[in-house]
Amino acid sequence: MSGSGEGAGPELTAEIAAKVEAFVRDVVAPYEKDPRRDHHDCPSEELVAELKDKARAAGVLTPHILPDGRHLTQRETAVVLRASGLSPLGPLALNTAAPDEGNMYLLGKVGSAAIKERFLKPLVEGRARSAFFMTEPADENGAGSDPSMMLTTCHLDGNHWVINGRKAFITGAEGAQVGIVMAKSEDGACMFLVDLPDPAIRIEHVPNTIDSSMPGGHAVVAIENLRVPADQMLGQSGEGFRYAQVRLAPARLSHCMRWLGACIRANEIATDYANRRMAFGKALIDHEGVGFMLAENLIDLKQSELIIDWCADVLDAGEAGGTESSMAKVAVSEALMRVADRCVQMMGGQGVTANTIVEQVFREIRAFRIYDGPTEVHKWSLAKKIKRDWKAAHEQH
């Protein structure tokens, strides 16, 4: 499992994406009304396992990683993950969901052979879920969207590292078998692989959140004297930020890919409704206010697709893509929010019910504008770069 981006080529990618789309539409979508949900309204472990078994049998489990371990390029991944996102349950069924997809990418890129065998393999095979422990509680001035503020510490004790701290909004921590934990040593940030559950990692609270697509929710976690063998550190002490950057730009873009698929589906549902629903003597779509909303959706969806592909090309060229992925995250999350909002509005009373996935997609996209860095943090980061570039240009003259 190299995790490298050798790719599959356009023909095989199109074939994989077509199989994924057919599976999501024909097999996964009927499960959207399945009542097996936890008290946070997230899909239950039983439901996810059943869907994964069906994907495995259909040959579409973890479709972005080829059977020989080669990873699709980012541009190819975009086509496949967009298809997987056509249902909120699709990424779970196909093993393309966050945080697992980003964690698989990271371990494929930088994990040792032993780490790949022990931690990556069960993730790729869909036999385990994972969690990424980076964000910390804002009420303690911990690392929210700013990992440099990290308060979680680690120190070497013999051949083990001992970790202490608190983490917040840890997606999927409840029920995960693999954890990637970030902590700070005297050298700087460090990243560790851990088996879960572990008594030293205690889930304090799983808040109810606006979104409900991710099993395990977004937990607040206390880490108390967690002992991790030294060979389960990714790389060397102090290299954690570098590895976080390997993961963050592609994972940010993957969110855009999946939620684009969800909004394409929501727009299909709204379009169907607007063409069938009669009001004031004609179909809704023939009322300019509704027809224009559908036209604007088409434009926002196409612009989202194009900026995802542009950013994917940058990453495929070997660039870090921090700036480009920030631009894509802002543009896509804001455009998809407009799309989801219009879909709800066009469908009126139906749009706010759970009769279709439109209402859930709206909630998920609202959360997406915050997850993986709020829009404002990315804009601030871009503004700082603009200032740096301006200074550099003027210092040359």
pLDDT digits (tens, 9 = 90+) for 99-133: 999 999 999 999 999 999 999 999 999 999 999 99
Tokens 């308060």 correspond to 151
Residue 5 has pLDDT above 70, yes or no: no
Rounded percentage of the chain residues whose pLDDT exceeds 90: 92
Q: Which residue, 290, 292, 295, 264, is CA-closest to 277?
A: 290
* Whole-model pTM over 0.85: yes
Enumerate residues 6+ apart whose C-beta is below 8 A from 15: none
Domain boundaries, the chain: 10-97, 131-238, 241-395
The DSSP symbol for 285 reads: G
Q: Is 334 exposed, middle or buried (0-12, 13-18, 19+ CB in 10 A)?
A: middle
The DSSP symbol for 62 reads: S
Give the CATH fold of the 241-395 domain: Butyryl-CoA Dehydrogenase, subunit A; domain 3 (1.20.140)
Given CA atoms 371, 377, 383, 385 in this order, what sign does their dihedral have?
negative
Do domains 131-238 and 241-395 share one topology? The answer is: no
User: How does strand 282-283 pair with strand 178-185?
Assistant: unpaired
pLDDT tens-place string over residues 340-396: 999 999 999 999 999 999 999 999 999 999 999 999 999 999 999 999 999 999 997
The DSSP symbol for 119 reads: I
Domain 131-238, CATH: 2.40.110.10
Q: In 36-73, which residue ranges form alpha helices assigned H by DSSP? A: 45-58
Dist. CA 158–CA 382, nearest whole Å: 43
User: Do 36 and 47 touch, CB atoms closer than 8 A?
Assistant: yes
